[in-house]
Structure 1
Amino acid sequence: MSRTLLVMALLFTLFTGNALASSTVPDWNISGIPDAGFPHFEDSVKVTFARSGSNWKLTANERSGTHRFQLSPAEAYKVTNVDFSLEALFDRNLRFTGGELEIEGKITGLGVNTKTTLWEANLTDFGVDYNPFDGSPIALGFETDDHAGWATLFDSGMPESVYLFTPSLWTLVLNVAAGNGTSASINATALTTVPVPAAVWLLGSGLMALLGGRRRNTVSAAPA
């Protein structure tokens, strides 16, 4: 195999990740909450809504699962040793008062070979998207700020978002708030949009530069 073909094979391997299925991001429109997009972490979580004193607490957790880091619609990487933890606080009138998010794990396909904090942030705003007429899933959206972790290597400083969605999620919240028990749990999907880590782009651009250098050498060696 020529050097050019070898580099092209490496590029193909890098940018097809771990051959995970591509992800479709639902089209939410929550005022004040940034849109979901790519790249993002996608996790199956257990959501619990419960009384906390006279107030309310919503938690979303998953440990030891295998989740996905979706770099683009066609590029996905497996996340292992996952520890996803979200906690959102509300007052007695269900007004959002704050919260925090942390995602830990390994992404060996991108060189994160030991469990580390991939993304952590404060939750600074909250909103609900529920339109029973357009067929979209019910979503609880949070704006994130004060970011830290692996994904901040290319942090633009702009707010990002995390969404919890499932067809029956808001029903869970309303049932508990209406007094039908003090707590309830349900399975949902968490989709957390993050910046593109600089290391990911540097790896790709390095391989592209190698391929470009090979092409330039070939052109310069051609007979006049």
Structure 2
Amino acid sequence: MAWILQHDGSQFSSVKFEMEPPCRDLTPSIEYYQENNCLKLYGKLWWSAVDIDDRFWPLQARMKTERKALPHWLGFCSFWGVSKSFRECVEHVEPGLHEFRKVEVLAKDGSPYSEAYYALNVRRKVFSAIDWGNTTAPFEQPRETRLLRSPQTLLDSQTVALKKSKMEGVHLSIMDETYPGTCMAVSNELYKLLSQRQLLRGTSSVFASEY
């Protein structure tokens, strides 16, 4: 059993930061992709489970508006960002697998935020994991790969099925059959940890059975 998570689009889940370095400096140029023979990753470097050069990692994020609380999963430019509590849950089930780098989060007035946050590079990508024969949720196919529609748009009656052979033993991953940068897949064990610690506010989720 697994869950597919996505930001729910609420005001709480949408946090605007002034980033250091600025977002434009954290985005590789087209020449970078060409020189490194990775044009296929253009626009989705951050969700491809690959090494990311030090120069493209964020260092500091200062809130543009006053916030009493932040979601535990948010965005730092194109990176996903997670709280220390969220990281602890991931490391509990998959120690040492994924890459976390601390980002100094500041309130609008420049004071340090109460909890540590990290930029996250998910280091596992799963290909062709959706069992479309047992999935009733709609999909789109802009290219050769089917892409699941946004989880927050799915009806309760629409189901998603995953291949057990692809997901067994996997706790946190990116799937190639979701839109880049929109979703992460978590195991039932990790989902329970995140839920018990109340770290899922600002997310929508869809349950996925395994066959």
Bigger share in strand: 1
* TM-score normalized by the length of structure 2: 0.27
Q: Which has the higher contact order (CA 8 A, sep 6+)?
A: 2
* TM-score normalized by the length of structure 1: 0.26
